[in-house]
Amino acid sequence: MEYVVLQNGVKMPKLGFGVFQISKEECEKCVLDALKVGYRHIDTAQSYMNEEEVGNAIKNCEIPREELFITTKVWIDNYGYEKTRKSVLESMNKLKVEYIDLVLLHQPFGDYYSSYHALEDLYREGKIRAIGVSNFYPDRLADLAVFNEIKPHVNQVEVNPIHQQTKAQENMLDFGVQMQAWAPFGEGKNNMFQNAVLKEIGDNYNKTVAQVILRWLMQRNIVALAKSTHVERMKENFDIFDFELTPSDMEKIATLDKNESLFFNHQTPEIVKMFSKMIENRRGRI
């Protein structure tokens, strides 16, 4: 395993196992399988509605707690100082842990400023080892970093070969914020797994397109989240530490960048409205 060290000295595994869209019925088994494969970094969220199942896996895995790195995210409907604080403590109970390694604000909408202050206080109390945000664009990230006592330690954003986020990463580096990638495979959009450039590079190392993408992220010093419900695919995604891409490989992958999201742009009014509807749909289920 490779690691990054956050600005506060916390050591974070570069490769994590994400549980987005993994059902309650499958989640505990999938996390246990991932831990057996070798993953030690597990990423969940309040809005994924599977924190309890992740907690069951943590309780039953027999791996010392200090060897695990657990992330969750505060959902928008829990923004506001008191609601955020209460929700994080509830997440701790669901995860069956005495501290959470990383807590992020999931989306850049609503009263995220008050929520961030709640995370700062929970961090000072030792209930959280690191704090940060998710899906924050450079301007809003800079705002939080400049006008708060504790800069975000992590920003989890979409990063893949089609949306490489190079300028965003430069901005994060300016503030000492660690970039973390969700959807590194773009959920297969844009025919990602059949991309000729990625396949050619993979063939040179006897590696798959997915392995090339994860290796590319490792070499950009970006923490990556890989998700699968199949053990063999978990093993494949984890098998990326025995090869290294050349500068030429990295340059070829750089040419794939279209500098646009494969999913949505958080800066448009339509997406804000979409999340408003999502809040109503999920209210009471989280």
CB 190, CB 162: distance < 8 Å: yes
Rounded Cα gap, residues 80 and 113, in angstroms: 8
Q: Helix (H, G, I), strand (E, B), or coil: what is residue 166?
A: helix
Residue 48 is a catalytic residue = yes
Helices (H) and strands (E) in the chain, counts: 11, 10
Written as one letter, the residue type at 161 is P
C-alpha closest to that of 101 among 54, 62, 139: 54
In 3D space, the residue among 177, 175, 169 whose CA is nearest the CA of residue 216 turns out to be 169
Q: Which residue in 3, 39, 48, 116 is the catalytic one?
A: 48
For 212, other C-beta atoms within 10 Å of its C-beta total 26
How many CB atoms sit inside 10 A of residue 99's CB?
14
Q: Which of 48, 85, 239 is nearest to 71 (CA)?
A: 48
Catalytic residues: 48
